[in-house]
Structures are given as C-alpha cells and as structure tokens.
C-alpha cells in the first residue's frame, strides 16, 4: 500500500507540476488582446528547449545504460575465469571410500571425458590460510585436490608440471600456484620457490596455472595455492563431459547415484550454475533499462513532435514568404530543424556523460570485473536517438516545407 500511495502521489505531483506552467502562462493573457487576435500561441522558448533537452538526455541515459549492460553481459559470458565452467558436473560424497564406489559406477559411461576427486574445489569449498615467503606474509585461498584435477577442471598449466600420481613427496611438500600468487611475491620464475605454511611446513612450487577467479566476477581475484590431497579425504566427484551431452550424462549420474546411495538425494550440479546469478542480474538490469528507455524515448518523441508543430505554426508566414522568394525544401527544413538539432546535440553530450557515470557507478557497485560503456555504446545510442527523432518529425517538417505559400499568406 505504501508503494502504491507513493506511485499515485508521484503521478499527481508530476501532473500538477507539468500543467502549472501552461496554466499560469495562459492565465496571464489579457482577454481584450485574445479577442482582437493580437495574442499568438505557438513556438518555443528557452524554458521549453531546456525541458526538451533534459527529456532527451534522460532518454539517452536509459538507452546508453541498456546497451552498456547488454554489452557487459556478453563480455562476462565470454570472460575466461581460468577454468572450464561450461562442461563440468560436481557431486558430493562423504569420504574417499564413497568417492571410489561412485566413481566406478559412473565410469561405465563412455561419454565422460575424465573424472577427478578432491577435498575442495573452485566455487565449491576452499579455505584461507596465511603463507610466508621470505619476510612477506599473505593470506591465500587453498584447495586440496586429487590426481587429474587440473585436466578435469580445465586449468591451464603455464609453467612446471602437474602432481605425479600417488607421489608421497608431492602430497607432503609440493604445491601448484596461480599466476597472481607468483606475481604477488614478485617471482619471475616460480618453479622451486619455497613457501612456508603454518610457520613450519615447507612447500615447494612445482607448477603455475593461469589465474583462477575463485570469486567469479563479483569480487577481486585472490591468489591461490593448490595442494595434492590424500584420496581418503575426497568429498568431490568432478566430471568433465562434452557440452552437448552434459544433460544426458547428468541424468546417468543421477541414475547411478540412486543405485549406489539409494537413501540419499542426488546432489550433482552444473559448475556454471555458480555464474548463473551474474547472468541473471545482468539480464534483469538490461530489461529494466530497455523498458525505461522505450518509455522515455516515446515521451521525448511526443514532446519533440509537439514543439516542432508549434514552431511550424509560429513560422507559417515566414515559410510562405521564403517559398515565394524561391527557397528550396532543404532550406526551409533547415530553418525549422536547426534549433532542435542543437537541442538534440546538447542532449546527446549530456546524456552520454551522465550515462557513462551512471553505468560505471552501477557496475562497480555490483562487480569487480566488468566492461564499462565504450565509444560503440554511445554511437549506437545517439544514432538511435536521432533516428527516432527524425522519423517522428520528418513527415511534419517535409509537409510544411512543401505547402502552398498562397494558402499560408492568404490566411495570414
């Protein structure tokens, strides 16, 4: 109810405010002047031009925002998070024994590319601990994974090697770090570097992978350290499969789950579900600004049509005289449109500037990684604005420019 009262109150206030100007303006006329025909209505003034300029600037603001958020949705959908988020399914088990049982059950599906186990995983679970290199200490994200994890998750090894299967040395003292981890500690060559964990545990870097955006695009990426975990601690079953067969494989995994764990609900999920929220937020904002942009531009086009019509009424005699003196349609069109083109150009500059600031402010409050509005955004927005404006008043202006001057001058 409070919101409805607010909406009705806003509508009433806006209507009264908008109607006050013409009401007070007309009420100031002298009746004698009106009856003698000395009062001429029509045309524009600085006030109406400012209003039209603001109206179009707000319209352009909404258009710029909708296009910018649409471009950002494409940018974020194609953003490389450092791992394969499209064709991975994760299911959760209690321990390493359950992992082996379930892994053997789903391994019969020949369409599965690879299966890996892990205690922690990206977007699923990880812990944060301080590590020390020389005198520098930093808290980093840490995950314990099993053999084949890098390949199954699609992590890209850019230096060094993967963990060796069943290697006790790797379990005790080897780690793989992200590129940001290496850059944070100022390493040009990270392989063989020593990392102190829990003050006494010495770990040595055997590999470097591309940066992994563990927080998605919402927050700044954290440095990450990957350890080789013991198989008895596995709680994740990670499956990599062809994208076109992912739904079928998920269904077969659920069927296998019901056979292996009949008393528990299947908990498998697609990894890209974690990014679904980002896409949803983006798409909803796009829809909102598209709606606002359409409404705003319709109102602006209506206002422009009205002012152009009034301006033509005011200049009827001038147009007639110019036609008699041989003025072309192009010349008369220019006379009618000049002030409105100036208004639209000012509105374009103002709308683009406000759009850039608003889009950057909104995106920065939602994500740490996004694509702000660019030159293409503004070019498309301004072209759309001028196209709609041209279509709105084109017929009216051309009709005025082609009218018979005899009729106009005789009426005058």
Give the pLDDT score at 246.
92
Q: Are 213 and 81 in contact (CB under 8 A)?
A: yes
Give the pLDDT score at 241.
93
Give the pLDDT score at 391.
85
Sign of the dihedral defined by the CA atoms of residues 256, 114, 119, 153, in that order:
negative
Give the pLDDT score at 22.
77
Q: Are 229 and 95 in contact (CB under 8 A)?
A: no
Select from 75, 81, 89, 58 the least CA-distant residue to 253. Answer: 89
**Placement of tokens 């940001």 in the chain:** 180
Sign of the dihedral defined by the CA atoms of residues 351, 357, 360, 361, in that order:
negative
Give the pLDDT score at 44.
63
Give the pLDDT score at 141.
92
Select from 272, 268, 230 the least CA-distant residue to 118. Answer: 230
Q: What is the pLDDT of residues 337-383, one digit of tens each?
A: 777 888 889 999 999 999 999 999 999 988 888 898 999 999 999 99
Give the pLDDT score at 31.
75
Tell me how far apart the alpha carbons of residues 71 and 381 are, in angstroms, rounded to a whole number: 13
In the structure encoding, which two tokens stand for residue 62, read together? Answer: 């909404």
Length, in residues, of the chain: 412
> Residues in the chain with pLDDT < 50?
none
3-state secondary structure of 154: coil
10 Å CB burial of residue 110 (0-12, 13-18, 19+) is exposed
How would you write 26-68 as a 3-class SS string?
A: HHCCCHHHHHCCCCCCCCCCHHHHHHHHHHHHHHHHHHHHHHH
């Amino acid at each position: 109810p409070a919101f409805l009262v607010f909406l009705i109150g806003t509508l009433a206030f806006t209507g009264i405010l908008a109607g006050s100007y013409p009401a007070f303006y007309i009420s100031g006329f002298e009746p004698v002047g009106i009856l003698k025909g000395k009062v001429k209505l029509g045309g524009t003034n600085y006030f109406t031009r400012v209003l039209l300029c603001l109206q179009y600037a707000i319209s352009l603001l909404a258009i710029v925002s909708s296009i910018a958020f649409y471009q950002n949705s494409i940018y974020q959908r194609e953003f490389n998070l450092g791992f394969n988020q499209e064709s991975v399914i994760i299911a959760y088990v209690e321990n390493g024994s359950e992992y082996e049982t379930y892994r053997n059950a789903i391994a019969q599906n020949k369409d599965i590319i690879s299966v890996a186990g892990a205690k922690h995983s990206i977007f699923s679970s990880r812990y944060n601990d301080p590590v020390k290199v020389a005198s520098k200490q930093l808290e980093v994200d840490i995950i314990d994974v099993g053999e084949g994890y890098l390949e199954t998750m699609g992590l890209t090894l850019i230096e060094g090697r993967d963990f060796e299967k069943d290697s006790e040395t790797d379990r005790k003292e080897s780690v793989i770090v992200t590129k940001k981890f290496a850059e944070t500690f100022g390493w040009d060559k990270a392989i063989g570097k020593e990392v102190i964990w829990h003050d006494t545990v010495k770990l040595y870097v055997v590999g470097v992978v591309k940066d992994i955006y563990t927080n998605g695009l919402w927050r700044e990426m954290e440095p990450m350290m990957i350890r080789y975990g013991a198989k008895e601690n596995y709680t994740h079953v990670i499956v990599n499969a062809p994208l076109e067969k992912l739904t079928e494989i998920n269904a077969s995994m659920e069927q296998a789950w019901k056979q292996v764990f009949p008393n528990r609900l299947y908990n498998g999920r697609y990894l890209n579900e974690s990014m679904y929220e980002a896409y949803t937020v983006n798409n909803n904002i796009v829809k909102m600004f598209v709606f606002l942009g359409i409404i705003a531009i319709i109102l602006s086009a209506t206002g422009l049509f009205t002012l152009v019509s009034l301006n033509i009424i005011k200049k009827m005699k001038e147009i007639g005289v110019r036609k008699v003196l041989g003025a072309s349609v192009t010349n008369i069109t220019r006379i009618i449109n000049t002030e409105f083109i100036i208004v639209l150009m000012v509105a374009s500059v103002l709308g683009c500037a406000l759009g850039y600031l608003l889009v950057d402010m909104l995106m920065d409050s939602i994500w740490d990684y996004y694509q702000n509005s660019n030159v293409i955004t503004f070019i498309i927005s301004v072209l759309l604005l001028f196209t709609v404006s041209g279509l709105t008043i084109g017929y009216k202006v051309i009709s005025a420019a082609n009218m018979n001057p005899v009729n106009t001058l005789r009426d005058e």
